[in-house]
Structure 1
């Protein structure tokens, strides 16, 4: 007797990125959907880095026309999608408008709603490993990468009560640096904001000059979407530094480099797993219109930890 086909899910959520097939969310989402009672499936949608604006507009239009699609999480292309398709949204939240990005798309009551969850995700993640007065003794921030995640991190850090004395961002693209400066500068009233291209700074020397306890971040995508690290292999991290790689999967050269110095330099080394958890739970809450209190996030995180890949 043939096995009955499993009914298709009532709702469909899209995952827009450049290399979604290796993400742990493809394993986690069915479990989370059941735990949250969503009756939903997740379908990846890969768009190449550097794709023309029309690809992003077509993606939003197709999702909006799909009666089962309730929304999407956008990674990698958050700024590009916003720039290309802003006019296709009926509403974008204040974070999205200010940061010029969309990481969450929700289709509700015939309207297309955009939101930028990275500033919230950055804050939730950073508060887990930085004390409330971490920067009080002069620690600085060096963030390698000035895309959507880097911009959101800068936005959050500039507004902390103990704002870092200096926020430095390094990126290969001048337009991303200009965008970040436009978003972060109005809030960096107690920090010196510096934006540089790699050919304008000696990363090894800059790391060596950072005060003890400084925070060094890999927000470039290197080590995940493409192999490599933004830090030379001979570079030495500052003593007592917090080293945060936003990646949790891939070749992870930056993370491996930091862990080789973890004991000798007394580093706090953090990968991107909790950033991933917070990012997805915040967007799922937005897309499906459900509450996501801290205790629910921890329940979902506990289930995810056992399925991490």
Structure 2
């Protein structure tokens, strides 16, 4: 099965050995296409190029297998970043990989694909990049100081990764972790992962509901990890839903209608909310995955340079 290439002409895309693929839903709209060439030059990768590939949400297994097989067979492709299809690729095509990292096996998802010495490797890097972004959003000792809980709306790849981040924190864990999703199988996966990690945090897996944020104590963390507001319209909560006072509200999306972000913004002043969008998560995620594909270390100093480039590009 051929995959539609959106960001460049298909003929041009096959001319170089340093191609990185980007599997998503609306890849041509991503700000990474403006950032990638500048980041590549800064990282000493002038020949690196990015090609976006769109697949429908919840594609059938044969589509995911075809995408992985095509990536593996293409001698010009070094690897890929996968966004909305992380769990689908793992479920349908994990047997096509020569190796998977610990988080890929634990979470049942693949976000990073690399090719080294003829071997295809898959990794789940959302846990790492979400942890980096969350450190910037939550003040030190936040949960210990506030007694807040955490509510993750959505238990797909990003939502599950954030759950793992919160459960693996050695200190300053939330008093309770609540995860909601429309798909029972995703909630079952959260329970399985929580049991495997054995963290001393109560984990509740529940169906969506507008009353979920309002039932949280002050200072709680509320995350939209559903993809609604970017890949799909709307928000996981209604306009009448009330956020807890002094909550930290994190919208993982940085582009699109951002309905959830706007809902939080309307309550920010009177409820004392701290509201963050997904721009920093986007930067951390892409920097980490580009480094993984091209075998380039992205430390704090290097990321700071990439961050400066992003802020001067007009994309933020």
Shorter-chain TM band: over 0.9
Work out whether 1:117 is the aligned partner of 2:125: yes
Number of the residue aligned with 1:57: 65
Aligned pair count? 300
Matched-pair contact (CA < 8 Å) for 1:159–1:188: no
Are residues 188 and 262 of structure 1, via their aligned partners in 2, closer, same or farther at CA, if it must alter by over 3 Å?
farther
| Structure 1 residue aligned with 2:220 | 214
Q: Does the 8 Å contact 2:87/2:110 carry over to 1?
A: yes
TM superposition shift of 1:122: 1.1
In structure 2, distance between residues paired with 1:119 and 1:110:
26
1:1-309 equivalence runs, <5 A: 9-38=16-45, 39-136=47-144, 137-160=146-169, 161-198=171-208, 202-204=209-211, 206-305=212-311, 306-308=313-315
Could you tell me how far apart the structure 2 residues matched to 1:185 and 1:147 are? 18
Structure 2: give runs of 5+ residues left out of the alignment. Answer: 1-11
Secondary structure of the 1:217 match is strand
* RMSD of Structure 2 on Structure 1 (CA): 1.5
Displacement of 1:307 = 3.2
- Structure 1 residues not aligned, in runs of 5+: none
- 1:263 partner SS: helix
Provide Cα deviations, 1:9-68, integer angstroms capped at 9, x if missing partner: 441000001111110011111111111121111001111112111111111111111111
For residues 190 and 82 of structure 2, the distance between their equivalents in structure 1, rounded to whole angstroms, comes to 19
Name the SS for the 1:264 alignment partner: helix
The answer on whether the counterparts of 2:15 and 2:76 sit within 8 Å (CA) in structure 1 is: no
Report SS of the residue matched to 1:70: strand
Q: Following the alignment from structure 1 to structure 2, what is the Cα–Cα distance between the partners of residues 74 and 261?
A: 33
Q: CA deviation at 1:188?
A: 5.0
Contact 1:20 1:44 in 2 (8 A): yes
Does the C-alpha gap of structure 1 residues 35 and 8 become closer, same or farther in structure 2, counting only changes over 3 Å?
Answer: farther
Structure 1 consecutive aligned stretches of length 4 or more whose deviation exceeds 6 Å? none
